[in-house]
Structure 1
Amino acid sequence: MIDVIDMKLIAEKSSLLSASDLVACNLVRGMDFGDVWHCHPACEITLVRRGGSERWVGDTLEPLAPGDLVFLGPELPHDYRNTPLPNQRPKPVEAIVTHFMPHLLGEEWRTLAVMEPLRRLFERARRGLRIGGRTRDHAEAILLKMVRAQGLRRLILLLELLDLLSRSKQLTAISSEGFLLKPRTSSSDRIGAVCVYIEQNLTSTIRVTDLARMVGLSESAFSRLFKRCTNSTVPQYINRLRIAHACRLLAETDLTIAEIIRQCGYQSPAHFQRQFQKIHRRPPQTYRRALRE
């Protein structure tokens, strides 16, 4: 069963796994990946072995190359494309696609100290993770074994892969932090509450003074705490959220650019255009056109 959101994003409700499978690992071959702009409740690890033109994850559209390997958390919108160059035929694609549910190991494991690296990996995967370097090479070798394995052996290989990824320093986030469908957990309850407030009031004017007063801190103390917890200033954080929200509206609605600017809380169209270009290296009109080609 699927839901269509604004006739763009396809939200898959049914599991991608059969009733007897804990881990699905399939070899995809053909003239396309069989994808549309969609999300689902399962985690996904995809290795592109050949073919493909772009990978769209969250608010980030990037070119595909053989060997591309990513780990996507649940409910993260994504799409793999195989768009041919003008006057050329599409080339065949080949990929290994693995799906498993985030509660594969139950719920209690998240509270165990020994599982902290894995918990952090799953948290980071909510933005999508690009896997590179020697980690990518080792992960590819495991995936090649997984696609041939069945049952318990496949599960053991997945755990080996997750252990490898949880210890690696060669993973980079794909989508912007602002694209997360849920507020990120914060090391500070007060800053977490502020982040929720910001996300719920993006269309309004948000002042640092008001946020500091909300949590009972001076403006300078609040700004230092916010920077420590989010790795950004308040204006930078708000701007990332607004641009990420704009990306969703560009992708999933037919609103005009002017309407999107208003819905994202920008007072100046020129400022919005500059900020969008700075983050995505293209104007919003080109961004929308690229997604829909």
Structure 2
Amino acid sequence: MRPYLEKLPPISDASWSMLNRRLDDGIPFQWHHHPEYELTLTLNSIGQRFIGDHVGEYGHGDLVLVGPNLPHTWSSRERIDAGGPHVALVFWFRQDWIDGFLGNAVELSPIRQLFAEAAPGLSFGPEIGESLRSRFEAMFSRPPRARLMAVLDLLAELAEQRERGRAQPLASGLPPPTTESRSRIDRVLNALHRDYAGTVRMGDLADLAALSQSGLHRMFSKHTHSTISAYLTRLRVGDACARLSGTTQPIAHIAAETGYRSLANFNRQFRSQTGMTPSAYRASFRT
């Protein structure tokens, strides 16, 4: 598992960030979050995406706008064209860019509203993703000023699609955290991501957050729309997904390494999250 908080490198000639990610070996399960909004178009890839408490299938043309500090990852299962890589075209936007650059311009208010609605993640569907593919790809060869104008035009198109009802919310809605509560929840989430495979004690997490155990549960539910136990299950199952798809470790060994002493309980929890047994999940990567 990667560190929970992902920090993005700045780009010297741009006020926002982008990445043309091309992977021959597949998109790995890397559960993370960051304060930026993330717009991702995925091409030539089939698998599962995990966004907050949403678990769903994705395919070629998957287009998603993820809100800030919303845990997310994609995990590929296969390529559509075996001769080409899995592709993720990713754009990131900071809140201060939205507030400062878009400002009070009435003409750009639909874009501001698009971002305001993106807290739970928005899926635009493969048809929209494929129709915008050439505009995403061209972004990486444009000079800085033309690139800025092009991304504004792209965001305006997505805002229009949202207004037409063609954007589907994914995770449960999350309230924007304050700086103080963000620090508390980050400490708890970092501990969960570091120690999820071991024994997780509520008292230890409450001490990290400087809260009572009841206060810890209220804070966690408020910021993740999940219980701690359900969140822990998703972490463990996510790690198991990565091991099942990328290694030949026996399933019983994977269960133990991801925090399950009972193989039956592991099978039950895995199926509740993915809709299939661990052996069926592994077999889907071998087909």
TM-score range, shorter chain: 0.5 to 0.7
Q: Check if 1:272 corresponds to 2:266.
A: yes
The Cα of 1:55 is off from its aligned counterpart by 1.0
Closer/same/farther in 2, CA of residues 46 and 193 from structure 1, 3 Å limit: closer
The Cα of 1:193 is off from its aligned counterpart by 0.2
Closer/same/farther in 2, CA of residues 257 and 34 from structure 1, 3 Å limit: closer
What is the alpha-carbon distance in structure 2 between the residues aligned to residue 261 and residue 24 of structure 1? Answer: 34
Matches within 5 A, 1:1-293: 36-38=25-27, 44-46=40-42, 55-57=46-48, 62=57, 64=59, 68-71=61-64, 78=76, 81-82=79-80, 99=89, 102=92, 109=97, 112=100, 114=103, 130-132=123-125, 137=128, 141-143=131-133, 151=142, 156-165=149-158, 168=162, 170-173=167-170, 187-293=181-287
TM score, norm. by length of structure 2: 0.59
Residues 203-212 or 254-263, more deviating: 203-212
Residues 139-148 or 220-229, more deviating: 139-148
Aligned residues: 231
What is the alpha-carbon distance in structure 2 between the residues aligned to residue 241 and residue 281 of structure 1? Answer: 16
Deviations 1:141-166 (A, max 9, x none): 54456668973656533332234447
SS in 1 for 2:265: helix
TM score, norm. by length of structure 1: 0.58
Aligned residue number for residue 179 of structure 1: none
What is the alpha-carbon distance in structure 1 between the residues aligned to residue 39 and residue 58 of structure 2? Answer: 22
8 Å Cα contact 2:48-2:58 kept in structure 1: no
What is the alpha-carbon distance in structure 2 between the residues aligned to residue 146 and residue 256 of structure 1? Answer: 41
Closer/same/farther in 2, CA of residues 242 and 165 from structure 1, 3 Å limit: farther
What is the alpha-carbon distance in structure 2 between the residues aligned to residue 217 and residue 208 of structure 1? Answer: 11
Closer/same/farther in 2, CA of residues 229 and 166 from structure 1, 3 Å limit: farther
What is the alpha-carbon distance in structure 2 between the residues aligned to residue 274 and residue 229 of structure 1? Answer: 27
What is the alpha-carbon distance in structure 2 between the residues aligned to residue 109 and residue 148 of structure 1? Answer: 22
What is the alpha-carbon distance in structure 2 between the residues aligned to residue 78 and residue 225 of structure 1? Answer: 32
Closer/same/farther in 2, CA of residues 222 and 43 from structure 1, 3 Å limit: closer
SS in 2 for 1:194: helix
Residues 107-116 or 257-266, more deviating: 107-116
| Equivalent AA in structure 2 for residue 159 of structure 1 | L
CA-based RMSD: 4.8
What is the alpha-carbon distance in structure 2 between the residues aligned to residue 166 and residue 188 of structure 1? Answer: 28
Deviations 1:183-227 (A, max 9, x none): xx9953112101111111112211223322333322212211111
SS in 2 for 1:188: helix
Unaligned runs of 5+ in 1: 1-21, 26-32, 84-89, 175-184
Deviations 1:21-69 (A, max 9, x none): x9899xxxxxxx9954147xx975246xxxx7x612557783747xx43
Unaligned runs of 5+ in 2: 1-16, 29-37, 67-71, 104-110, 172-178
What is the alpha-carbon distance in structure 2 between the residues aligned to residue 245 and residue 209 of structure 1? Answer: 24
SS in 2 for 1:267: coil
What is the alpha-carbon distance in structure 1 between the residues aligned to residue 112 and residue 136 of structure 2? Answer: 25
